[in-house]
A and B are shown apart, each in its own frame.
Chain A
Amino acid sequence: MATPANVAPESLIEDYRHGFHDSEDAYAFKSAKGLTREIVQRISSMKNEPDWMTAFRLKAYELFRAKPMPDWADTALLDEIDFDDIHYFVKASEQQSQNWDDVPEDIKRTFDRLGIPEAERKFLSGVSAQYESEVVYHSVREDLAKDGVIFCDMDTALREHPEIVKKYFATIIPPGDNKFAALNSSVWSGGSFVYVPPGVEVKTPLQAYFRINTENMGQFERTLIIADVGAKVHYIEGCTAPQFSTASLHSAVVELIAMEGASIRYTTIQNWYRNIFNLVTKRAVAYKNATVEWVDGNIGSRLTMKYPAIYLMGEGARGEILSMAFAGEGQHQDAGAKMIHAAPNTTSVVTNKSVSAHGGKTTYRGLVEIFPGAVGAKTRVRCDALIMDDKSSSDTKPTMKINEQRATVEHEASVSKIGEEQLFYAMSRGLSEADATGMIVNGFFDFFVKELPMEYAVELNRLIKMEMEGAVG
């Protein structure tokens, strides 16, 4: 039986509480609910990690215990998280053992309407642990290896490239940064590791799907991308289809390092199922004349808190953050951007657009900081919110700390409701109200969509239209 699209499937949540289709597979391992020092130790020993990583995890565990929940955010929603009712580690073989029949009907319907290929559907819903187009990408991986590019999952990187991992791991986001970074640091598993050697330009975007590993869809992913001097890379993660997960709390940490003259673009589109708390820490550094770009799309989830940051540390560094958020019924997209100008002649652009509909809520929370001595720094922030109906809302909370007089700071923000006249005009041309609304919202997000690879752009446009109909899983 199909689950009504706009009703939280209680039975699904209930299933999750009971460990969602526990497999009795002798080779699988699922930690008991709740987090203890012993579980953290066990995760590390199961992965055969070096002592320094075990010590790092245990230290992070203490920090997680000690740190308070953020009191500045949506505390009512955050209070719904029951840390003792979560499995913090599920071995990959367990994740594979789910059954396609157990994936909610509304998600299957969305796959149909988005035109997601069969193999990808199973991967996205956690039924298949591996995206089966792996063969297609085999030659791509060989080319990467020839250039000395390392692209693997984080666990493999720690085993095979311990010296690079140890040098950079957690230098951008230390475990004590915030409660959720501490949680991730203590129980992380999976995520991507990318190292691009000096002067190498990776011409094809790297997609998380390229990885052979089974831990692509980790609950506590840890990603580290390093572009060495003059290197260039574009990394893409996520997809437009709703990601069904048996875990209600996802907390990733993503660290990017762009050395002198290097360039990193990180594109994510996340469309989480509506029971999920997605609390992510993303931060990048850009050294002299380096460029970092975050392209970040957020759809779905119960609560998303995500503020990609760029620290412009060297003269001439450039940062850009492009983000879009869509909040539907019962959802809060609390997203934003942080841009820190710590060197002269650094430039940045932040563009954020959000839509709230069917009672959803969006918040833009941003920071621009200009350090003393960052002479000639230039930044432009633009955030626009579109509210679709009387039940929906939007907040804009920008912070500016400007400590250098010889800098240029522009900030522009708008909050608007969908225009009756625009709708009337479109409908007078023969469009239905749903089509007209979809067209207007697609136009509002156009700045973002045009930055995406073609297949993502097409899917996202379809998805937005479906969101407007309130028909997305």
Chain B
Amino acid sequence: MNSSEAVAKVGDILPETTRKVEINGIPVLLCNVAGSIYAIEDVCTHDGGELDQGELEGERIMCPRHGAYFDVKTGAALTLPAILPVRTFPVRVEGDDVYLETPQG
């Protein structure tokens, strides 16, 4: 059964910014889109670049290496050269805490 873990404070992730955390050895990027928090794996599916080094533009984030855009809500690759979606993780906010459902592996 999955469990949840508090990984950050809401106040640490200002609107239109991101924050990188790690859970079970998986790098996860928390993205604040207009006050809502979304979580994606912090790895570009094109060639493994770290998305936290890229820029969050509304609901999409750009990989700094080759410019591929991903939808942070769905994980979908919006432009080449990325083809596969990035993993997304369910997020729960309770009070001031951001909880991530612990991903397996």
Chain A residues near B (Cβ < 8 Å): 63, 170-178, 181-182, 283, 285, 311, 313, 340, 342, 371
Contacts and interface: CB of A to CB of B under 8 A. Distances in A.
Interface in B20-68: 62-68
A112 B28 CA distance: 64
B62, B63, B79, B80: which has the most chain A beta carbons within 10 Å?
A: B80
Contacts of B65: 176
Contacts of B68: 174, 176
Interface of B: 62-69, 78-81, 83-84
Nearest to A170: B79
A165 to B, nearest CB: 15
B80 A285 contact: yes
Contacts, number: 40
Nearest 6 A-B pairs (CB), nearest first? A176-B67, A174-B67, A174-B79, A177-B67, A342-B83, A171-B79
Contacts of B80: 171-174, 283, 285, 311
A283 B64 CA distance: 19
A176 B81 contact: no
Given A176-B66, A177-B67, 15 more contacts: A63-B67, A171-B80, A174-B80, A175-B67, A176-B63, A176-B65, A176-B67, A177-B66, A181-B67, A283-B81, A285-B80, A311-B83, A313-B83, A371-B83, A371-B84
B83 A174 contact: no
A397 B83 CA distance: 24
A181 B79 CA distance: 14
Contacts of B63: 176
Contacts of B79: 170-172, 174
B80 to A, nearest CB: 5
Nearest to B79: A174
B66, B67, B78, B84: which has the most chain A beta carbons within 10 Å?
A: B67
Nearest to A311: B80
A171 B79 CA distance: 5
Contacts of B67: 63, 174-177, 181-182
Nearest to B62: A176
18 contacts: A174-B62, A174-B67, A176-B62, A176-B63, A176-B65, A176-B66, A176-B68, A177-B66, A177-B67, A177-B81, A178-B66, A182-B67, A283-B80, A311-B81, A313-B83, A342-B83, A371-B83, A371-B84
Contacts of B64: 176
Nearest to B82: A174
B66 A340 contact: no
Nearest to B80: A172
Contacts of A283: 80-81
A172, A176, A285, A371: which has the most chain B beta carbons within 10 Å?
A: A176
A210 to B, nearest CB: 28
A288 to B, nearest CB: 15
A92 B67 CA distance: 31
Nearest to B65: A176
A172 B67 CA distance: 11
Contacts of A342: 83
Contacts of A63: 67
Contacts of A177: 66-67, 81
A62 B59 CA distance: 20
A313 B68 CA distance: 16
A371 B81 CA distance: 13
B86 to A, nearest CB: 15
A173 B80 CA distance: 6
Nearest to B64: A176
A101 to B, nearest CB: 44
